[in-house]
Amino acid sequence: MLKITLKDGQVREYEAGTKLLEIAKDISPRLGKEVLVGAIDKELRDLDCQPEGDKDINFYTFEDDEGKRVFRHSSSHVMAQAVKRLFPGTKLAIGPAIEEGYYYDFDSQKPFTAEDLEKIEKEMEAIIKEDLPFKRFELSREEALKLFSEIEEPYKVELINDLPLDAVISCYSQGEFTDLCVGPHLPSTGRLKAVKLLSVAGAYWRGDERNKMLQRIYGTSFPEKSKLDEYLFRIEEAKKRDHRRLGIDLDLFSIQEEGPGFPFFHPKGMVLRNELEKFWREEHKKRGYQEIRTPVILNRSLWEQSGHWDHYRENMYFTKIDQADYAVKPMNCPGGILVYRSRLHSYRDLPIRMAELGLVHRHELSGVLHGLMRVRCFTQDDAHIFMLPGQVKNEIIGVIDLVHDFYKIFNFPYHVELSTKPENSIGSDEIWDLATTALKEALEEKGIGYKINEGDGAFYGPKIDFHLEDCLGRTWQCGTIQLDFIMPEMFKLTYVGDDGVKHQPVMLHRVVFGSIERFIGILTEHFAGAFPLWLAPVQARVLPIARRHLEYAGKVKDVLDEKGFRVELDDRNEKVNFKIREAQLQKIPYMLVVGDREAEGGQVSVRNRQLGDLGGMALGEFVLKIQEEVNIKALSPLLNA
């Protein structure tokens, strides 16, 4: 008999040879219909697998990340099969599942066009109707090399040659199509329902610009057409909200040919940036942070001591000064450490919370640059907290609360991931275990659920990552808390304890916005450029109806200027409806129309970009209302309240 333990702790017995799919159907008819992949002792397996002995069994549907990955990886195989049917000379590279979809890299004899994507998509639909079973088989290294050499797939041969000599190699076939793959896959192509090919782009083989440029076709897939339609709607909405286009339309920033990856902020973009930084400074001052500023360029010996020279050098820029090697900083932490080390500290001084809006530079390949989201220079809203071992949990909780309060201002929901020790780490397992446990305990004390992200910590310590969700349901990793026992040791940091002896402090690295530039990009897309009043580069525009109203319009502007509002006067000799449309396109929160009646009564006729015409209002009353809207950092106008 086969004895299995389900994830709810329930134990069931089945006859030997029972397949995972049969077990799923026995547990629940609905599960049997929706299940996409199983797991035996946490290892994902095909549903025709037959477990033996006492096992822990889990099942995953499209609602689970594991199920989505298998569903979309199977979709990439179907896409590759369709391409091979339509374009037989095409060579296959790799085709993984990615977030919200999948891609496959091809070496094709001709560039794929939009018309080709339509043909491939139709062929995929035909393959889905054929309901071909995904069949797994295993080969020795020699057998696999023979097979993929015979079918002329040189990229697969190269991948096989990189495997150990004694490796057992798995492959999958559906119909006439065979691919090198570790799996698992869906039971058959018929389980796919709704597929869509989205775009084609260039991609270097194995991500190396020295290798051949391949063609990468991106696609997505869902178990229901309605879900695909929802996704495509979000894609179209995202295009309308693209911060790169809005950055130009609203004159916020630009990327110039003379500095690819190095954004230029224009006057209106600087207003937005300065308001965010002002908010950041106010909130940090309340919580006992002290602001510092450290140099952009520091010498090689510092980066060797911090470990960046060995672990991060490929992402850094270098220069020489007086024949000595220097590096442009990719991170702010070594500079913060030097500030701490510049004087002797007592245990009574700790915790010391040093905050820095620090400009950093990181080398990124040109192909991954993307507006403000992926740049080569950016400002991290860094802070480094130096503390006693007994203060660790409270300081972590303090940062968690700070991040929560920041995201609440923008009404961003978020989820948390805990990233553990990576392969290229420094420090002992004992130190890593101690740091990881401290982060877990702080999250658990706050009652915050989290997902473990194995092996994705910084090279010097584990971290908590905050992934915020925008209005389109997209997630962005922004805030980070990294606990570090290692750099204080590497830099021989000390404090004098109550026993009069020097001890080593613990260090916390953290950001809230993450990158000011990237956060502005996220906000621009989240609000579609219609920023809340407190952030809007122009908060109000005064629109005189005729030339004779210019004098009163100027007085209205002066009153708002004196109260500290950002206001413009549209004194062009144009019709007022034209001026209103222009202000709407610029996403200005308030338009103040003034004519004879307003001038005589000391009023303004108020229009809001969301609510439309709000009618006449005394100028003083309007000022009080929008002052309150700014003070509480409201996301919606208060004038209709």
Q: Which residues are annotated as catalytic?
A: 333, 362, 380, 382, 384, 463, 509
Determine the Cα angle at 478 with ends 475 and 479, to 5°. 130
| Residues 247/254, Cβ–Cβ less than 8 Å | yes
Distances (CA, A) of 397 to 133, 333, 384, 401, 494: 51, 21, 15, 6, 24
Three-class SS of 363-378: CCCHHHCECCCECCEE
Q: How many helices (H) and strands (E) does the chain have?
A: 20, 33
Query: What is the distance between the alpha carbons of residues 250 and 530, in angstroms, rounded to a whole number?
Result: 10
Q: Determine which helix (DSSP H) or strand (DSSP E) holds 255, and give its type and residue range.
A: none
40-59 core/surface letters (b: 16 or more CB in 10 A; e: else) = beeebbbbbbebeeeeebbb
- In the numeric block, the tokens 């797991």 are attached to 39
Contacts of 30 (CB under 8 A, 6+ apart): none
Cα-Cα end-to-end distance for the chain: 68
C-beta atoms surrounding 627 within 10 Å: 15
The DSSP 8-state label assigned to residue 313 in this structure reads G
Give the residue among 193, 424, 201 at the shortest CA–CA distance from 314: 424
| Residues 191/134, Cβ–Cβ less than 8 Å | no
Amino acid at 137: F
Burial of 75 (0-12, 13-18, 19+ CB in 10 A): buried
Which strands, in side-by-side order, build the sheet including 43-45? 11-14, 2-5, 55-60, 37-40, 43-45
Contacts of 118 (CB under 8 A, 6+ apart): 197
Q: Would you mind telling me the total number of residues written for the chain in this entry?
A: 641
Query: What is the distance between the alpha carbons of residues 582 and 468, in angstroms, rounded to a whole number?
Result: 33
